Amino acid sequence: MAVSGHISVVWKQRNPRLTTVKKPETKTRTVEPARKAVLGKIEPVKAPAAAAAAVVKEKKPPFNLMKFIAEVRQEARKITWTSRKETWITTVMVLIMVVLAGAFFFVVDSGLGALTHLLTDLGQSKGQ
């Protein structure tokens, strides 16, 4: 304990600028200056540059092609492929949905076409 206390005292003596940090003042927001009703404290914004300066960038290792290929092969072994039966069932389901959607849009298009034809014929017969 005595040694660490001595080290901190020596460090503070050598770096006085770093140890004497002044606490920022907080301002109080009020409704009206005469009333002094406190709504909340406004804290000062801390600069992110100080945090970024403290981070020391580590040097990246160079790209290793053989390691990359080995990792790709390892990940490829983890892939689970669907069976032939699952693929067949999914394909049939997609085809059924395509036929049903086609039939639905055919019925809607035919109905709208017939309605449009009826309205245009009605407009032509009144005009004559």
For the chain, which residues make up each domain, given as ranges? 83-128
Structure-model confidence comparison of residues 52 and 111, the more confident one: 111
Amino acid identity for residue 7 in this structure: I
Q: What is the pLDDT of residues 116-127, one digit of tens each?
A: 999 998 878 776
| Percent of the chain residues past pLDDT 90, beyond the cut | 42
Looking at the predicted structure, is the pLDDT value of residue 4 above 90?
Answer: no
Specify the pLDDT at position 81.
87
Listed range (22-36, 42-56, 74-88, 92-106) with the worst mean pLDDT: 22-36
Candidate from 2-6, 62-66, 85-89 with smallest mean pLDDT: 2-6
Q: What is the mean pLDDT of residues 34-39?
A: 57
Residue found by looking up tokens 């039966």 in the block:
85
| Band of residue 1 on the pLDDT scale cut at 50, 70, 90 | very low
